């Protein structure tokens, strides 16, 4: 019940009923794509997202939300929610993971971001609002009710990005 929000774990289509918004977390995006199929969640989530359900995709979740994915498996499918091209593991291997402080539009103080085998944004569409960049590359963006991050905000104690997402709903 973090932030005063009931946030159930969703592993089946039945558990999605009554959920107002979804966080697509980090992880391994090809495995997540396969699990969406084997669990039966892909169609249920796709329908809800098409109806306007809010979503926050972090790291692998960003990959699942992007319209175009480079270096993915040919059978990997996402939801095409935000007009951007991302490269899987674009920042490098696990050993290349890093942490940095980001200036984020709308936040008074920097946000400490944790990048782990993060997707690299190669292109953003004209209707995508870039909220934060690292070395000139978008790492936090929003379009409509879809927010995406290349990094893992859930790995810090700082809840401001989740609060901002909730405020968009």
Active site residue 154: yes
How far is 139 from 119, CA to CA, in rounded Å? 9
Using CA atoms, how far apart are residues 47 and 66, in angstroms rounded to an integer?
Answer: 17
Q: Out of 59, 65, 146, 162, which one is annotated catalytic?
A: 59
Q: Concatenate the DSSP letters of all residues of the chain into one string.
A: -GGG-------SHHHHTT--EEEE-SS-HHHHHHHHHHTTHHHHHHHHHHTT-EEEEETHHHHHHEEEEES--TT------EEEEEETTTT-SGGG-EEEEE--TT-SS-EEEEESS--EEEEE-TTPEEEEEETTEEEEEEETTEEEESS-GGGSS--HHHHHHHHT-
Which residue among the candidates 14, 154, 157, 163 is catalytic per the annotation? 154
Active site annotation includes 146: no
| Residue tagged active-site, from 65, 134, 152, 162 | 152
Is residue 65 annotated as part of the catalytic site, yes or no?
A: no
- Residues with Cβ within 8 Å of residue 93, at least 6 apart in sequence: 117
Q: Which residues does the annotation mark as catalytic?
A: 59, 152, 154
């Amino acid at each position: 019940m973090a932030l005063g929000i009931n946030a159930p774990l969703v592993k089946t289509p039945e558990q999605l009923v009554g959920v107002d918004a979804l966080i697509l977390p980090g992880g391994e995006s090809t495995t997540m794509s396969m699990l969406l199929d084997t669990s039966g969640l892909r169609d249920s989530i796709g329908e809800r997202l098409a109806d306007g359900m809010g979503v926050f995709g972090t790291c692998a979740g960003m990959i699942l939300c992007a319209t175009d994915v480079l270096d993915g498996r040919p059978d990997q499918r996402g939801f095409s929610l935000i007009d951007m091209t991302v490269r899987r593991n674009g920042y490098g291997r696990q050993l290349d993971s890093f942490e940095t402080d980001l200036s984020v539009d709308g936040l008074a103080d920097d946000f400490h971001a944790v990048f782990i085998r993060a997707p690299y944004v190669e292109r953003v569409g004209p209707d995508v609002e870039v909220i934060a960049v690292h070395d000139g590359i978008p790492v936090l963006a929003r379009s409509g009710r879809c927010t995406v991050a290349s990094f893992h905000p859930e790995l810090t104690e700082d809840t401001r990005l989740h609060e901002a997402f909730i405020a968009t709903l």
